[in-house]
Structure 1
Amino acid sequence: MQVKSTAGVNALVSPEGSLEVLSQHEVNRLKDTSSNGHHEILRRCALAVLSCGSPLDDGMALLEQHPDFDIEVLQQDRGIRLQLTQAPADAFVDGEMIRGIREHLFAVLRDLVYVSNEIELNPRHDLNNSAGITDAVFHILRNARVLRTNLQPNLIVCWGGHSISRDEYEYTKDVGYHLGLRGLDICTGCGPGAMKGPMKGANVAHAKQRTALRRYIGISEPGIIAAEAPNPIVNELVIMPDIEKRLEAFVRLGHGIIVFPGGVGTAEEILYLLGILSSSDNQQQPFPVIFTGPESARSYFEQIDHFIATTLGESMRSRYHILINDPAGVARAMKSGMEEVTAHRRQHSDAFYFNWRLSIDPLFQQPFHPTHQAMSELQLHRNQPTHLLAANLRRAFSGIVAGNVKESGIRAIEQQGAFKLHGEPELMALLDKLLRAFVDQGRMKLAGKTYNPCYQVVT
C-alpha cells in the first residue's frame, strides 16, 4: 500500500530479483545490519536507485532534494519488506514501484549486507593481502550471481563519461548495436552517458537477433552511485565496497574493454588498466582494449594518447588500439579478440567467467582515501617504475572524481578548499593541460553546469 504526498511516496516493498527466499537467521542479520551503522549508506544508495533518470550528478544535491527520504528493513515471518518514506514519485507507476527499480533496490541491500557480514567481518578474507582481496571480489560477484560458468568469453566492458555530447552518446549506441549483433554482452559502470549508450544499442541488436540471454551488467560502489544511478537497462547490478574493488571486478569479469570519451573517471580507469597490463606477468595474456569515438572525439583521444606515451612511455601504446568513427570495426575487433581470449583460457585451463591469472599489484587494490593530505603527498614524478606512476596518477584522478561528485569529497572541498597536487614540473604541466581540456570540453559535470575545480595543480 502506498500513500502519496506532495514530496514523495510512502511505500512497503517486497523483494524482486534478490532476497526473496531467506532463513530467519538471514532476516535478522539483514535487519541488524541495516540499523547498526549501515543505515546512512543504505539510505544514500537506495535514494540513488529510486532516482533513476535524475539529471543530477551530485550525491549531496540529491540528498538535499529529498531530505525526508528514509528506508527501514522490516522483519516478517515470510522474509523482509522495505518501508520507504518520501521516496521519489517517479519510481512508481499507478501506485506500484517499477519492477527494474525494485530489482536494483534489493540488489543494493543484498550487496551492502553481504559485504558487511561476509567480507569485512569475516576473518577468512584478509583484505590486507592481494590474494585475499581478489578472493573477496570473487565472492561478492558470485553472491550477486553474475558469474556464469556455461558461457564462453563474450562480455565487453565499456568505459566512458556520464557527461558526453549527443554525438558521442549516439556513437556509443552504434557500437553497442554492432556488439549486440555479434552476440556480445555489455558491462559498464551502470550510469548514464557512455555507460548507458552501449547497453541501449546492444538491447536493440539482441532483440533483432532474438538473443535469449541478454546481459547488461552494471558495477558501481556506494560513493559513486548517487552521481551515476543505475540506468534502467541494467539487468544485473552489483555494488562493490570501494572503487578499487569495482575496478578489479571489471577486469576480472570482462573479456575485453572499450573506452569511449569521458573525463577524470575515465582517465582513472585507463590508468588502472594500463598500470596492470604493464606488469611483466600480464604481457602474454590477451586482453583486447580499444579507444573509440566519433570523428569529433579524435582530438580527445590524441590528447589521451599523448599523455599516456609521455608519462608512462611509448611502449604502453602497444596495449591498446585507437579506432575512430568505425562502430562495426570496433565490434569486429572485439569479436576477434574473444576468440584469442577463449583459446588462451582453454590452453591454460583458466575459467571463462573470472580472470584468475591476471596479476594485480596491491597498490591498485588497496583503497585510496582522498583526503587533502593524501592528495598532496602523491608521488607524481617519472623517476619511479611505470606501474607505480600509473597507480599514483590513478589515485590523483580518483580524488578529483570524489571532489566532483561524491558527498564526502564535496563536503571536504567545501570545508578545506581545493585538493592540491604537487610533483615533477613537466609532469604536472602535462596533467594540468589534460585536466583543463576536460573542463573546456564540459567533461567534468553534466552539460550546462558551471564547473568549479575541486583541485589545484601546483606547477
Structure 2
Amino acid sequence: MNVKTKDTCTIAARGNMTLLSLEEVNKMMELGRGSIHELFRKCCLAVLNHDAQDDDAMAVLNRYPDFEVKLIPRERGIHLELINAPSQAFVDGKIISGIRDSIFSVLRDIIFQTTEQNTGKYDLQDSFGLTNYVFQILRQGDVHQYGKEPNLAVCWGGHSINRVEYQYTKDVGYHLGLRGIDICTGCGTGAMKGPMKGASVGHAKQRIFDGRYIGLTEPGIIAAEAPNPIVNKLVILPDIEKRLEAFVRLGHGIIVFPGGAGTAEEILYLIGILAHPNNRDVPFPFIMTGPKESAEYFEQIDQFIRFALGDEAAKFYEIIIDDPEQVAMKMTQGIERVREYRAEKKVSYYFNWGLHIEESFQHPFIPTHENMSGLKLFADRPLNELAADLRRAFSGIVAGNVKEFGRKQVEEHGVYQISGDTALMEKLDALLLSFIEQQRMKLPGSKYEPVFEVVK
C-alpha cells in the first residue's frame, strides 16, 4: 500500500515531561529500549494516525511497518525521534501541536508511569492501592483542577455511530458548553468526538477559553479509537478497569449515547457500582440519550437491564430521547447536587474518593476463552455481582472485535463461548444480534463476523 510518511523528525517535550531528573531519564531510556518499547511504538503510531478512516489496530500497524520512535536523552528532559511517521501528522514539515502534546502523553503514561510502578511505590493488590494508582496517573496527566466547581460531564457512546446520531452528540455537547460544562470521553471518534466538538462552540460563545476536553484511553484500544483533534488532555490508563474507574471518579455525571458492546459494558459497569449498598446515597447523574431514530436502541438496553438486573437497576438512570437542551439542563442540575453533597461532606470536588468500588470491578479481566466461558451469568446472583460479570462478557466481545489480544485469541481458538441461565442467555443473544443488525458492531469497510457464541 502506498502511504505517505515523513522520513525523520525530532520533537522536544512540553509540559511535565520537560522537568525530569537524570535518574528518571536514565530509567526511562532503559525501559524504552526494553520489552515495553513495542507497546510505546504502537500507541505513538495510533496518535500520529489520528485522521485514519478505519479502526483496525492491526491494519494500522501493517500500513506503517517501518515506523519507529526513539528516545533521545537530554539534560532538559527527553526528546523523541520519529522515523517514517504518517505524513498527516505534519503541516509544512512541522508536527501538529496537539499531536505533539498527545505523543508526550504517551511517553508519560506508557514509559514514565511504568518506571514509577516498577519502583514498588504502588500497592496494586488491594482496592485502595488501585484507586490511589488511578489518582496518581490522572494527577500526572494534569486533569485535576483543585478548587474548581464541579463541571465535568463524562460522555460514553460508540465510535461508529451514524450521521444523525453524531449530530445529536454535537447538539448535546453544544448545550453543555453553553452552561460551562467540560467534557471527558474515551477520546476517539463518533460519540467521543461529537460532544467535545459541540462543547467547544458553546464554550467559545461564552468566552470560556480554558475548557477541558479530556480523553481517557488504554493501550489495548487506542489504535482503534485514536485521540480526536479536540482532546487537549490525553491520559492512557493501563487497562480497561482503571480507565473505567478514572471515568467515574473524575467525572461529576455521565451521559450515554448510542453505541455497541463497549457502551453496554460501560453502562453495566456504572450500574454495578451505583447499585452497591455503600453508594446508594451518593448523587451521580446518569442519563442515556439519543435522537428519535435511536429510541429503539435505548428501549432494548432498558429492557435487558430490567430483565437481567431487575427494575431496581433502572432507578439509577434516566432516558431522554431527542431533546439535547433537556439533557444539558438535567445534567447541570445533577452536577449541582453533586457539588452540594461534596461541599456538605467536605470531600474533594475533583476526584471522588468516597465512591465504593469492589475489587471485582478493579482487577483486569483477561478475555481468554477459559475466562469467558467461566463467567457466572445467573439471575439469582446479587445485582452488583451479576452486573460485574455481564460487564466482563461485553468486555471480552469488545476485545475480540478491536483489540489485538482478543482478535488473536479468536483467530487461534475460534469464537468465545458465553453461557448462563437459559432465559438470560436468550436476552443477551437477542441484544447482541440487535447490535449487529443495527451495524453497531460492524467495523467500517468490513463485514462484521461475530466473535462470540451464546451457549444456552
Q: What is the TM-score with the length of structure 1 in the denominator?
A: 0.97
Match of 2:351 in 1: 354
2:382 is equivalent to residue 382 of structure 1: no
Q: 1:162–1:195: 8 Å Cα contact kept in structure 2?
A: yes
Match of 2:360 in 1: 363
Write the mapping of 1:175-324 to structure 2, written as runs, cut at 5 A: 175-324=172-321
Residue 408 of structure 1, aligned match among 396, 405, 409:
405
How far apart, in 2, do the equivalents of 1:282 and 1:396 lie? 24
What is the deviation of 1:14?
Answer: 1.3
How far apart, in 1, do the equivalents of 2:427 and 2:4 lie? 50
**2:65 partner letter:** P
Write the mapping of 1:77-96 to structure 2, written as runs, cut at 5 A: 77-96=75-94
Match of 1:440 in 2: 437
**1:432 partner letter:** D
Residues 362-414 of structure 1 show CA distances to partners (whole Å, capped at 9, x for unaligned) of: 10001000001111111111121111110101001000111100111111111
What is the deviation of 1:150?
Answer: 1.9
How far apart, in 1, do the equivalents of 2:339 and 2:50 lie? 36
What is the deviation of 1:113?
Answer: 2.2
How far apart, in 1, do the equivalents of 2:104 and 2:417 lie? 39
2:123 is equivalent to residue 126 of structure 1: yes
**2:53 partner letter:** P
Q: Secondary structure at the match of 1:449?
A: coil
Q: 1:163–1:193: 8 Å Cα contact kept in structure 2?
A: yes
How far apart, in 1, do the equivalents of 2:311 and 2:4 lie? 58
How far apart, in 2, do the equivalents of 1:446 and 1:210 lie? 38
Q: Secondary structure at the match of 2:221?
A: helix
4+ residue segments displaced more than 4 Å: 5-8
Match of 1:40 in 2: 38
Q: Secondary structure at the match of 1:456?
A: strand
Q: Secondary structure at the match of 1:291?
A: strand
Match of 2:9 in 1: 11
**2:278 partner letter:** D
Residue 115 of structure 1, aligned match among 110, 113, 116:
113
Q: 2:415–2:453: 8 Å Cα contact kept in structure 1?
A: yes
Match of 2:61 in 1: 63
Write the mapping of 1:140-155 to structure 2, written as runs, cut at 5 A: 140-155=137-152
Residue 390 of structure 2, aligned match among 382, 390, 393:
393
How far apart, in 1, do the equivalents of 2:301 and 2:4 lie? 47
Identity over the aligned pairs, expressed in percent? 55
How far apart, in 1, do the equivalents of 2:83 and 2:447 lie? 32
Match of 2:20 in 1: 22
The number of aligned residues is 454
Return 252-261 or 413-422, whichever deviates more. Answer: 413-422
Q: Secondary structure at the match of 2:381?
A: coil
Match of 1:427 in 2: 424
Return 21-30 or 369-378, whichever deviates more. Answer: 21-30
How far apart, in 2, do the equivalents of 1:6 and 1:456 lie? 40
How far apart, in 1, do the equivalents of 2:55 and 2:209 lie? 34
Q: 1:18–1:106: 8 Å Cα contact kept in structure 2?
A: no
What is the deviation of 1:448?
Answer: 4.4
**2:310 partner letter:** G
What is the deviation of 1:8?
Answer: 4.2
Runs of at least 5 residues in structure 1 that lack an aligned partner in the other structure: none
How far apart, in 1, do the equivalents of 2:216 and 2:428 lie? 28
What is the deviation of 1:449?
Answer: 2.6
How far apart, in 1, do the equivalents of 2:437 and 2:216 lie? 29
How far apart, in 2, do the equivalents of 1:255 and 1:85 lie? 41
Residues 17-56 of structure 1 show CA distances to partners (whole Å, capped at 9, x for unaligned) of: 4412322222212211211211011011000000002112
How far apart, in 2, do the equivalents of 1:410 and 1:56 lie? 16
Q: 1:176–1:198: 8 Å Cα contact kept in structure 2?
A: yes
How far apart, in 1, do the equivalents of 2:55 and 2:97 lie? 23
How far apart, in 1, do the equivalents of 2:351 and 2:387 lie? 24
How far apart, in 1, do the equivalents of 2:76 and 2:327 lie? 49
How far apart, in 1, do the equivalents of 2:4 and 2:190 lie? 30
**1:184 partner letter:** I
Return 142-151 or 323-332, whichever deviates more. Answer: 142-151
**2:356 partner letter:** S
How far apart, in 2, do the equivalents of 1:6 and 1:93 lie? 13
What is the deviation of 1:7?
Answer: 4.5
Return 76-85 or 251-260, whichever deviates more. Answer: 76-85
Q: 2:28–2:115: 8 Å Cα contact kept in structure 1?
A: no
How far apart, in 1, do the equivalents of 2:449 and 2:176 lie? 37
Q: Secondary structure at the match of 1:158?
A: strand
Match of 1:54 in 2: 52
Give the root-mean-square deviation of aligned CA atoms: 1.2
Return 50-59 or 356-365, whichever deviates more. Answer: 50-59
Q: 2:54–2:445: 8 Å Cα contact kept in structure 1?
A: no
How far apart, in 2, do the equivalents of 1:351 and 1:118 lie? 25
How far apart, in 2, do the equivalents of 1:78 and 1:279 lie? 47
Residues 324-343 of structure 1 show CA distances to partners (whole Å, capped at 9, x for unaligned) of: 00000000001111110011
Residues 121-179 of structure 1 show CA distances to partners (whole Å, capped at 9, x for unaligned) of: 24332211001100111111111111111211100000000010100000000000000
Q: Secondary structure at the match of 1:218?
A: strand
Q: Secondary structure at the match of 1:223?
A: coil
Q: 2:71–2:79: 8 Å Cα contact kept in structure 1?
A: yes
Q: What is the TM-score with the length of structure 2 in the denominator?
A: 0.98
2:345 is equivalent to residue 344 of structure 1: no
